Structure 1
Amino acid sequence: MSYVGPDFEPPRPPRHPLRGPLTVAVVALAPGALVGWLVWQAVGDSDEDGAAAQTSVSAGASARASASAGASDDGKERPGGGTGQSGGGEETGSSPAATSAPAGSGPLKGKVVVVDPGHNPGNFQHPSDINRKVNIGTNWKECDTTGTATNDGYTEAKFTLDVSRRLRTILEKEGATVKFTQDGDRAWGPCVDERAEIGNKAGADAVVSIHADGSAAGNRGFHVILPGSVHSGSADTRPIVAPSRSLGERVAGGFLRATGSAPSNYIGDGTGLDVRKDLGGLNLSTVPKVFIECGNMRDSKDVTQLTSGAWRQKAAQGISEGIVSFLRG
């Protein structure tokens, strides 16, 4: 997700380090990275097997069929093709909260996971819709942004939907019921407030919003965004701060192990974690929720990973491991 737009502001000066028991310890030196790796393994995050097939398994026939095709596509795309967030106005297409067909058994049987693919490929064609203001609990912000893209035009929206579909396949194999906020099945949207509402209405056990950053070249790595404690207006994140942090730490640990990608060198003080109080998608959530920025689409080294289908499969696997670990307790 680009830090240009309503929910995505320019990086602020480094925050105080997050020193939780499951902090991802990575510094520039190789020994530090090794220590971080060992710390995550020592805390016992899930090492569930989640080898994922790219075959769609739910009832959304046409959307799922295209998902399977996109899952192995490493090609580039013009800045209009991808997926993402958009408005809460009139919808075009099927429901944004398409439900998967849950597997008959598995460790996540009975659990509901909402996956939120950031942005929407059609957002750029609907500027008046995505620029309209919505209430994020503490104040008003634009509905959404178009997201970012690589210099070659591979969009964040396409990336997020591909990773999300891969993640859905893995989670369904673990027995979870998976719902999407959008599945490339609407012209734009939903807005950030509607995205939060989808997770709330689903009674989700966990919600993960998938993104990629649009920071400066040289800024590398992933980070997981956690909700800060907000109690203002219609926003009250106090009940979800602790479980969301646990979810975020586990997702960060799983992502690090599966992808080998280091935590961000420009946000989170090397922890891979960042707490924010200005994101409507978090402020309005009443269930555990985190965002993950999988890498920087403006850095050539990160782009090599983000545009690789094999790497995106690892990203989905790592995120799923964190979710499984969190839900199994």
Structure 2
Amino acid sequence: MSYPDPEFESPERRSARRGPLLVALAALVPGALLGWMVYEAVGGGGSGVSPRAGVPASAFSRTSAAASSPVRSVSAPSFASPGDDAKGAAGAGAGPLAGKVIVIDPGHNQGNFQHPAEINRQVDIGTNWKECDAIGTSTKAGYTEADFTLDVAHRLGALLERQGATVKLTRDGDTPPWGPCVTERAQIGNEAHADAAISIHADDSAEGDRGFHVILPGTVHAGAADTRPIVGPSRDLGARVAGFFLRETREPPSNYVGEGTGLVTRTDLGGLNLSTVPKVFIECGNMRDSKDSALLAHGAWRQKAAQGLFEGIADFLNR
């Protein structure tokens, strides 16, 4: 995400934590992160890891999370996966995830930069007021966060539908032409009575800041925001997503937030504050770092990212 952003603080306002913090990591996440460091030390390996045989979600510490506010009635775009055949799309309703509803929220919108008045409009997120949405960030080569998040959302949606799930996107292609507002993104998941919701992003931080982190909702009870019922299940969802995302992508947990756990708790995000269903955000990597941006711009890596998200969500739904 670009800064300033309605959903994220600027890097200057964060408590950025540098360095490997090896002692802390060994204590916090002995399975997941220590395994990753061993993997890096021996030079890595291929992607031939059998499903569910990788990093256990329990290896991540589970902390608390955030909440959302009232909005006008909105409807989610119908899910369609570009380039996917009818067989894949027809899978919804039959399979191990039949009857489950997942809302995928691709961060930002390619049209936001053309609608500054609309996206800068202040909306109530329960704890305070923020801009409706933001432009998002891009790699130095110009690959936008909005394009990245939509591509990963389509890949994830296809995987979920093939297992029988019903998938709803908060935006798809040019629909809507900007936004939707962070309040509306939360409402789409609420009105769908989603079993799980995930908002996909990529970060905008300094060169050398790299890695992913999953954002959990903290406890908020203010105005229209009340995350108390979803904090626990969202924490469970986030821990599973982080574990499988690490296993599938080999992207390291963030070295600048989360103290190496890959998990961050926040109470200033409208998309979480106003959610009434289990929901997390994921920053898949830092688009402004040369190493991360090379991965994020690569289609094969984005498929691994979608696979990791799918495994984490499926594991949560099948718990």
Fold match, TM over 0.5? yes
The size of the alignment, in residue pairs, is 280
Q: Structure 2: how far apart are the matches of 1:259 and 1:124?
A: 30
Partner of 1:26: 33
> Do the aligned residues in 2 keep the contact of 1:22 with 1:250 (CA within 8 Å)?
no
**Alpha carbons of structure 1 residues 29 and 227: separation in structure 2 relative to 1, 3 Å:** closer
| Superposition TM-score, scaled by structure 1 size | 0.78
Partner of 1:277: 267
Does structure 1 residue 40 correspond to structure 2 residue 55?
Answer: yes
Q: Which amino acid aligns with 1:26?
A: L
CA drift of 1:177 comes to 0.2
* Deviation digits for residues 214-252 of structure 1 (CA, Å, limit 9, x no counterpart): 110000110000000011111110110010000000000
2:163 counterpart (174, 181, 184): 174
> Do the aligned residues in 2 keep the contact of 1:250 with 1:325 (CA within 8 Å)?
yes
Q: Structure 2: how far apart are the matches of 1:178 and 1:273?
A: 25
**Alpha carbons of structure 1 residues 312 and 242: separation in structure 2 relative to 1, 3 Å:** same
| Superposition TM-score, scaled by structure 2 size | 0.80
Q: Structure 1: how far apart are the matches of 2:94 and 2:228?
A: 33
Q: Which amino acid aligns with 1:227?
A: P
Large movers: runs of 4+ above 3 Å: 17-25, 31-34, 41-45
Does structure 1 residue 136 correspond to structure 2 residue 125?
Answer: yes
> Do the aligned residues in 1 keep the contact of 2:216 with 2:234 (CA within 8 Å)?
yes
Structure with more contact order per residue of length (Cα contacts < 8 Å, sep ≥ 6): 2
**Percentage of identical aligned residues:** 63
CA drift of 1:144 comes to 0.7
In angstroms, what is the RMSD of aligned CA positions?
2.9
Q: Structure 2: how far apart are the matches of 1:284 and 1:18?
A: 32
Does structure 1 residue 159 correspond to structure 2 residue 148?
Answer: yes
1:104-143 alignment, distance < 5 Å:
104-143=93-132
CA drift of 1:198 comes to 0.2
CA drift of 1:157 comes to 0.2
Q: Which amino acid aligns with 2:132?
A: C
Q: Structure 2: how far apart are the matches of 1:29 and 1:326?
A: 22
> Do the aligned residues in 2 keep the contact of 1:117 with 1:210 (CA within 8 Å)?
yes
Give 5+ residue unaligned stretches, structure 2.
18-23, 42-48, 61-76
Partner of 1:257: 247
**Alpha carbons of structure 1 residues 255 and 243: separation in structure 2 relative to 1, 3 Å:** same
* Deviation digits for residues 120-152 of structure 1 (CA, Å, limit 9, x no counterpart): 000000000000000111111000100000111
Partner of 2:72: none
> Do the aligned residues in 2 keep the contact of 1:112 with 1:204 (CA within 8 Å)?
yes
CA drift of 1:106 comes to 1.4
Q: Which amino acid aligns with 1:122?
A: G
Q: Structure 2: how far apart are the matches of 1:24 and 1:175?
A: 31
> Do the aligned residues in 2 keep the contact of 1:220 with 1:266 (CA within 8 Å)?
yes
**Alpha carbons of structure 1 residues 134 and 24: separation in structure 2 relative to 1, 3 Å:** farther
What SS does the corresponding residue of 2:179 show, helix, strand or coil? coil
Partner of 2:317: 327
> Do the aligned residues in 1 keep the contact of 2:58 with 2:240 (CA within 8 Å)?
no
What SS does the corresponding residue of 2:186 show, helix, strand or coil? helix
> Do the aligned residues in 1 keep the contact of 2:54 with 2:247 (CA within 8 Å)?
no
Q: Structure 2: how far apart are the matches of 1:6 and 1:182?
A: 18
**Alpha carbons of structure 1 residues 178 and 23: separation in structure 2 relative to 1, 3 Å:** farther
Partner of 2:184: 194
Give 5+ residue unaligned stretches, structure 1.
46-58, 70-99
Partner of 2:15: 13
> Do the aligned residues in 2 keep the contact of 1:225 with 1:274 (CA within 8 Å)?
yes
CA drift of 1:31 comes to 3.6
Q: Structure 2: how far apart are the matches of 1:42 and 1:289?
A: 16
**Alpha carbons of structure 1 residues 104 and 131: separation in structure 2 relative to 1, 3 Å:** closer
Q: Structure 2: how far apart are the matches of 1:122 and 1:271?
A: 34
Partner of 1:234: 224
> Do the aligned residues in 2 keep the contact of 1:240 with 1:287 (CA within 8 Å)?
yes
Partner of 2:4: 4
CA drift of 1:190 comes to 0.4
Q: Structure 2: how far apart are the matches of 1:283 and 1:298?
A: 27
Q: Structure 2: how far apart are the matches of 1:284 and 1:101?
A: 32
